[in-house]
Chains A and B, each alone.
Chain A
Amino acid sequence: MKVLLSWLKDFVDIDVSVEQLADTLTKNGLEVGEIQSVGEDFVLDIEITPNRPDCLSIVGVARECAIGLSKRFTPPRLIFLPKISSAYLKETKFGVTIGAQEACLRYIGRVLLDVEIAPSPDFIKERLEKIGLRSINNVVDITNYILIETGQPMHAFDYDKIEGKQIIVRFAKEGEQIISLDETQRQLSKQDLVIADIKRPIALAGIMGGYDTEVTSKTRNVVLESAFFHPQTIRKAAQRHALTTEASYRFERGVDFPTVDTASVYAVDLISKYASRSSNKTTVIIDKTVDVIIKQVALSSKVVLKYEDVEKVLGIMPSVFWIRKLIKNLGCEIMSVSKESLKIQAPSTRSDLKINIDYIEEIARFYGYDKIPSQGLPELMVEKEPVLKNFSEKDFENQAKDVFIKTGLREVITYALLSEDEIEELKIKNTLPLKNPLAKSYSVLRPVIFPSLLKVAKYNFNRGVYDLAIFELGKVYSSINSEPCERKVAGILLSGKKYQDCFGNEIEYNFYDLKFAVETLLSYFKISDYSIKEAKQMFFSNSCSAEISVSNEKSALIGKVSGKIKTYYDLKRDIYIGEIYLDTIKKGMKNVIRHQKITQYPFIDRDFSLLLPKAVSAGEIIEHIQGKNDLICAVDIIDVYEGKQIPLDMKSITIRIRFQSDEKTLKDVEVDRICEGVKETLVKELPCQIRK
C-alpha cells in the first residue's frame, strides 16, 4: 500500500526522518519497500501482510507508527451528522433489499440531494495524485479519499439513474451483463454478487461500479453506498473478471464492521463541505438513510495472556508494565489483570487477534526481533536419526549421482511437465494431466524421463554443443487405478564424442557406453543378480535396445533413440538414452560387504573362437560357460568379427576364459582339459562350431 507521509501526520506526530520511520515500520512488521519523494512529501510503499487488513488504511498504519516511535496516536475525530429540517426532504421511496444474505452482511445507502459535481478541493486532489490515484470529481474523490484513510471502500451512484429507486444486493442471473466504469462489457455469472436496481445490475459488488449509473458532471442526487461484503465472494468474482481494484482488495481481506457506518458519515461530512449546492455550502440534504444489517460481525473472544507463555515462546520477558502499555496502544481493552496474566479484548479492527500466540507475536514485534537474543542451540538428539533415516533416500541418491559423475555424466534438472502433444506422440497411457495447466506445452506430468532429456539435447545442439553425456535424477508420474503415483528414476543421455585427442583419435559414444553407466551403477551397489534382454519400446530403434532386470524386476531400459522420435523432436544425431528405476536398484542393493581373500596363485588364460549364427548373443555364450567349472574365474568376449571368411549370417566370437585356483598353481594340462570340456558342451548346447 502506498502511504503519504504527511497524511500519516494527521494522526501521529512524526519527528524522525522518513528513512528512520521506514526502518521502524519494517522492524515492526510493516515492510517498507521503495520510498519515493514527491515535492516536499514522501510516499512509502508498504507491504501489508494478509492478516492485517486494518493496515490497508492511513489510520491503521498511523497507529503502528505511533507504537513504533513511542508517540501519541490521535484517533479520527467522531462526526455527528447535522439534523436536517424535514421541509427539505422529498420523502423518496428509496429502499435497500439484501437478497444474497450470505454474501452481504451490511449495506448502508444514503441518498444525498442537491450535490454539485465539481473538481475536488486541492488537498484531496493532491493527496490522491501523490499516491497515484487519478482525481475525477469531488464526490468520487471523496469516496476514494476515505477509502485510503479509513480502509472502507464506498461507491456513489447517480440516484436519478437508478430504476425504481431500489437497491437490491443479489447474485447475478444467468446471461446478465454489465458495462463497468472502465467501459468494459462484462458477462456475469451466477456467482457474481451485484448491486442491482429493479431492472439490471448497476455495479459489480465490491469491485467496480457500473457505467450507466456513474456520477457525472450532470449528477444532482447521489446514493452513497457503504457495505460489508463477504471476502470470499468478492475475491472469487475479482478473479473471474481479472479485475482487482482498491475496493476489491480491501473487501477480500475484510473490512471493519463499525467503520462501514463511520466512513459513510465521514463521506457525508466531506460532501457537505465540498459538494453541496445549498446556499451556505456547509450541509447536504440526506433524504433517506437505509442501514440493513443481516448479521453483526462478532468481536474476537477475550484472551487470557499468561506472562509465562510469553517467556516460553520468545525466551525473553519484557516488563509487565511495558506489555500492558503495548496492549492498550494496540487499541485493545484490558478487561482484568492478575499477577500472572492479562485478560484482553481486541478491537473490531484487529480480528486477527484471536488467541494467546497472536498477542505474543505483537509483543515480539514491538519488543524488536533484533533485540531478542540469539543464543544456545539446544542439545543434539542423535538417537532420532535412525528412525528419520527411513524418510530419506538422499544418501542412496547421492551415491548414484557420484557414480554417474565418475563415469563422466553431467547432472541436469528439467521441467517435469510435458505437452499433450508429446504424450500423444509417445502413445503412453495412464498419464497424469494437470487440471489447471499454465500452458499447453506444460500440461501433463511426464510418464518417462526421455522427453525431458531429448529437449536438453535439442537445446544444446541448437547452440552448437554436440557432445553430451548427461543424467537426471527425478521423478516420473502416472495414474495407476486412477491413483496418482510418482516414481524415482535416473535418466541418461549420450551423444557425440566421448574422446578426442590431437593425434586424430576420436571415439563416439555408443550403446556400450550407456550400458557401462548402468552396469557401473549396479556394480557399485553390489548387484550381480541381473539379466539383459532385448526390449520392445517405441522409443528405441529396433536394432538397439535392451531391458535390464534386477532379481527379475524391470530395472532399466537402454537403447538408441528411434528415427521416429528423433524426427518428432527434430534431432539429427545419434542419441543413446536410458531410464533406470531407482527403487528396484535400492531393493536389489547389497549393503554388507565381506572381504574376499585374493589368491596368490597365478591365472592361466585360454582364448578360442567360435563360429555361430548372428542371432545368438554373446550373453548366451557367457551364460553357458560360467559356472561350468569352479576354476573358471572370468569369461570375456575379446573379439567379435563379421566379414571376410565368415558366412553372411554368421559371426565369429573370440572368448577368453581365465582359470585360477586359490589353493594351488594350475597346470596347463589341467586347464586344457577343462577348456576342451567347455568347448564340447558349447558345441552340443548351442548352434556353433569351434574355429581352428
Chain B
Amino acid sequence: MNITDIQNIFTEAEEKISQASDSNELDEIKHFYLGRKGKMAQVIKQIPELPEEKRPLAGKESNIIKGKIQSLLSDRTQQLKTGQEKTQKIDTSLPAVKRTLGGRHPITIVIDDICKIFEHIGFTLVEGPEIETDYYNFKALNIPEGHPARDNFATFYLPKDNMLLRSQTSPVQIRIMKDVEPPLRILSPGKVFRPDNLDASHSFMFHQIEGLVVDKKTNFTHLKASLSYFVKNFFGRDVTMRFRPHYFPFTEPSAEVDIACIICGGEGCSVCSRTGWLEILGAGMVHPNVLKEVGIEESIFQGYAFGLGIERIAMLKYGITDIRMFFNNDMRFLKQFS
C-alpha cells in the first residue's frame, strides 16, 4: 500500500458519490468507505505495517481523505434533498439565506472612532464609576456648594449621602490625577446622567468623552493643536472650525469649539439656530484649583482638558434629529450603521 492507493480510493469514491441517485445509495457508499470495516478503516489498519518513515504521511493523508469523502457525501445528500443536480443551473436570483447579522450600536461606533483618533496621538483609555461621590463629581472640580450643577434639577442623587450618578465624565480626571503621577494623557468615554425630561434633544442618560493632558509645558497652543487634529480627522480636512472663549469651573482659560454647520454650510439653518456654527466640544486649561486639589504642584505642571457629548456628535454625523432613537433600539434603525 502507498499514498497513491489512498488517493485512488478517493477518486473512486468521488465518482460513485456523484453518480448516486438517492440517500440509500449514499448510505451504502458511506458504509463501504467510512464504515468500521470500510475501505478507509482497512487502509488505516495497514499503516503500522508501513516502513517507519512513511507512516506519518500515510496517516495524515488518510485523515484528509476521510474528511473529503465525508464532505462529498453531505454535499450530495444536500443536493438530492433540494432536488438539484450538480450540473443543473440554479436560480441565482432567488433570495439569499436570511440570518440576522451582528453589529455595533451607533453610539459605540462614534465612541470608538473618536478614541482611535486620540489614541493615535498618545492618549490612553481609562474609565471610572458611574456611581460617584459629590467630591469627585463636583468639589474636586472646583464646583462649590450651591452651584447650579449640584441642584436636584441637574444631578441625580442616591439615597446614601453625597452619592450620586455622575453628571459628567470629568470625575475620572480627578481619580486618575490622584492615583497616577503626571505626565498624563488620558481619554475617558462613558455614560452620564442628568435629570432632563426625554424629548428630541434631551435624555436623562447620555455619553461623554473626557480628555486630559497634564505635563510640564503643556499650554494653550497644544490644546488647540490636539483638538484641531481631532476635528479635522473626524469631520474632514476641509471643515472650518473656531475656538471661542467660554466658562467652565474646572478650566481656565476655557473654550468652546464650533464647526461650520455641516447642514447649511454656514448659511444659517434651524440645526445651528441660524448662527452657521455648531458647538461640538468644551475645553480649557486645567484650573489651578483642580490641580491643587489633587496634589499636583501647579507651579510645575499644567495641562488641558476637554469634553464632548457623543449623542450630539453622532446626531450631527448621521443626520439624526431625535436623541431617543439611540435608546429605542429599533432594529431597522440600528441596522443602518453596521
Q: Which residues of A contact B (CB under 8 A)?
A: 26-29, 31-34, 49-52, 231-232, 235, 239, 312-316, 355-358, 360-361, 364-365, 369-370, 372-378, 380-382, 384-385, 387-389, 391-394, 398, 401, 404-417, 432-439, 442, 445, 456, 459-460, 463, 465, 467-470, 474-475, 477, 479, 482-486, 497-503, 600-604, 664-665, 667-668
Mark the stretch among B11-19, B23-31, B183-191, B259-267 that contacts chain A.
B183-191
| Contact between B102 and A404, CB atoms less than 8 A apart | yes
What is the size category of the interface that chain B forms with chain A? 35 or more
A659 to B140, CA, bound (A): 65
Known: A34-B275, A415-B205. A378 touches B222 (CB 8 A): yes
Q: Chain A interface secondary structure, helix, strand, loop or mixed?
A: mixed
| Contact between A482 and B160, CB atoms less than 8 A apart | yes
Contacts of B287 in A (CB 8 A): 357
| Contact between A27 and B44, CB atoms less than 8 A apart | no
Select which of A414, A415, A484, A501 is within 8 A of B97 by beta carbon: A501
A479 to B245, CA, bound (A): 42
Select which of A29, A316, A409, A465 is within 8 A of B102 by beta carbon: A409
CB distance from B274 to the nearest CB of A (A): 6
Contacts of A484 in B (CB 8 A): 131, 158, 160, 163
Q: Mark B79-122, 1 if CB is under 8 A from A, else 0.
A: 00010000000000011111111111101100010010000011
B246 within 8 Å of A by Cβ?
yes
Number of A-B residue pairs with CB-CB distance less than 8 Å in the complex they form: 286
A475 to B44, CA, bound (A): 55
Contacts of A51 in B (CB 8 A): 247
Select which of B125, B189, B253, B332 is within 8 A of A364 by beta carbon: B253
Q: Mark B166-194, 1 if CB is under 8 A from A, else 0.
A: 00000000011001100111100101010
Known: A364-B253, A413-B105, A483-B160. A667 touches B331 (CB 8 A): no
Task: Please name 18 pairs of A and B residues whose Cβ atoms are closer than 8 Å in the assembled complex, sorted by A.
Answer: A28-B245, A29-B245, A49-B246, A235-B146, A361-B253, A378-B213, A378-B217, A392-B127, A394-B127, A408-B99, A410-B103, A417-B204, A438-B196, A439-B197, A463-B332, A465-B330, A484-B158, A501-B97
| Contact between B97 and A499, CB atoms less than 8 A apart | yes
Interface centre among B100, B107, B180, B288 (most CB of A within 10 A): B100
A34 to B63, CA, bound (A): 77
Minimal Cβ-Cβ distance residue in B for A407: B102
Minimal Cβ-Cβ distance residue in B for A469: B100
Contacts of B332 in A (CB 8 A): 463, 465
Q: Mark B214-244, 1 if CB is under 8 A from A, else 0.
A: 0101111110111011000000000000111
| Contact between B204 and A469, CB atoms less than 8 A apart | no
Minimal Cβ-Cβ distance residue in B for A365: B245
Select which of A378, A600, A667 is within 8 A of B45 by beta carbon: A667
A314 to B224, CA, bound (A): 10
| Contact between A374 and B221, CB atoms less than 8 A apart | yes
Contacts of B180 in A (CB 8 A): 384, 387-388, 391
Select which of B193, B218, B329 is within 8 A of A413 by beta carbon: B329
12 additional contacts (CB under 8 A) given A411-B334, A412-B105, A667-B48: A51-B247, A313-B253, A357-B252, A372-B221, A372-B224, A394-B189, A405-B103, A413-B105, A415-B327, A500-B97, A602-B63, A668-B45
Q: Which B residues from 281 to 338 make CB contacts under 8 A with A?
A: 285, 287-288, 302, 326-332, 334-335
Known: A384-B124, A406-B102, A477-B131. A361 touches B245 (CB 8 A): yes
